[in-house]
A = this chain, B = another copy of it.
């Protein structure tokens, strides 16, 4: 059984270590696999994108513990979503919504049963005190109904959709990856005529990174499921000073 972790905790403070310690104390035999702990602080959309791109590659039965939690200590719900193939344990703020919308939801549980919490009086670190132990007990076979009452729906992340008018797609950059590629919010380009971002021409719709024109901006369907602005063997972000939210216009 795997518990897969995705958080914005960073890797320098030992927060992730505490979470893993809690899990291993409850279920020593569970396998813990990191997706990332370097989601931008409080960045629910980035967490949702990273989860959506990665979760499908995990074995059936995997428990995804996803803690990007700007509302920790407030009235936001903590939830378990059981789908046909997976479990998702997270704050109910949209961070699991992009992944879950592809899955067959079987049950949504609002986590309320404090028996399973590590402590009841900490309002700053629910990753360690609530999401970690609940995930660990699920991995031991505790039925999701034990953790609280069923609810009917979850909050969806507000992912900005591109606009299409006059033969143009107006999208934007929603994230950069480690290579400096600019992930856009554009999922479909029926036919590529030309494009631009920040007044800079996008030369080519490529099918591999090396196919792009050297030293110039190109676009490709990437592993996040969206089109990405890239420079072959370079950082589009650094070379062309691109920013998040930059508008990307594609003429189709």
User: What residues make up the interface of A, taking CB atoms closer than 8 Å to B?
Assistant: 2, 4, 6, 8-22, 24-25, 28, 31-39, 41-42, 50-51, 53-59, 62, 70-74, 122-125, 128, 177-180, 207-211, 220-223, 233, 235
| Shortest Cβ-Cβ A-B pairs, 9 listed | A73-B208, A10-B178, A17-B35, A21-B57, A21-B58, A12-B38, A123-B208, A14-B54, A14-B50
With the chains together, A15 CA to B143 CA distance in Å? 31
With the chains together, A31 CA to B74 CA distance in Å? 35
On whether A223 and B125 interact (CB within 8 A), knowing A18-B57, A33-B21, A41-B235, the answer reads yes
Chain B's nearest CB lies how many Å from the CB of A87?
Answer: 15
> How many monomers of this protein are in the complex?
3
With the chains together, A38 CA to B18 CA distance in Å? 15
Beta-carbon nearest neighbor of A71 in chain B: B210
Q: Are B124 and A209 in contact (CB under 8 A)?
A: yes
- Pick the contact of A18: B39, B53, B71 (CB < 8 A): B53
B residues in contact with A53, CB < 8 Å: 13-14, 18
With the chains together, A198 CA to B180 CA distance in Å? 31
B residues in contact with A16, CB < 8 Å: 34-36
Chain B's nearest CB lies how many Å from the CB of A68?
Answer: 12
Chain B's nearest CB lies how many Å from the CB of A21?
Answer: 4
Q: Are B178 and A12 in contact (CB under 8 A)?
A: yes
Q: Are A223 and B12 in contact (CB under 8 A)?
A: no
Q: Are B34 and A124 in contact (CB under 8 A)?
A: no
With the chains together, A51 CA to B18 CA distance in Å? 10
Q: Are B178 and A41 in contact (CB under 8 A)?
A: yes
With the chains together, A25 CA to B2 CA distance in Å? 10
- Pick the contact of A33: B11, B20, B123 (CB < 8 A): B20
With the chains together, A106 CA to B196 CA distance in Å? 51
B residues in contact with A36, CB < 8 Å: 11-14, 16-17
Q: Are B10 and A73 in contact (CB under 8 A)?
A: no
Q: Are A220 and B124 in contact (CB under 8 A)?
A: yes
On whether A72 and B210 interact (CB within 8 A), knowing A4-B17, A24-B58, A57-B18, the answer reads yes
- Pick the contact of A178: B13, B179, B221 (CB < 8 A): B13
Chain B's nearest CB lies how many Å from the CB of A158?
Answer: 16
Q: Are B208 and A72 in contact (CB under 8 A)?
A: yes
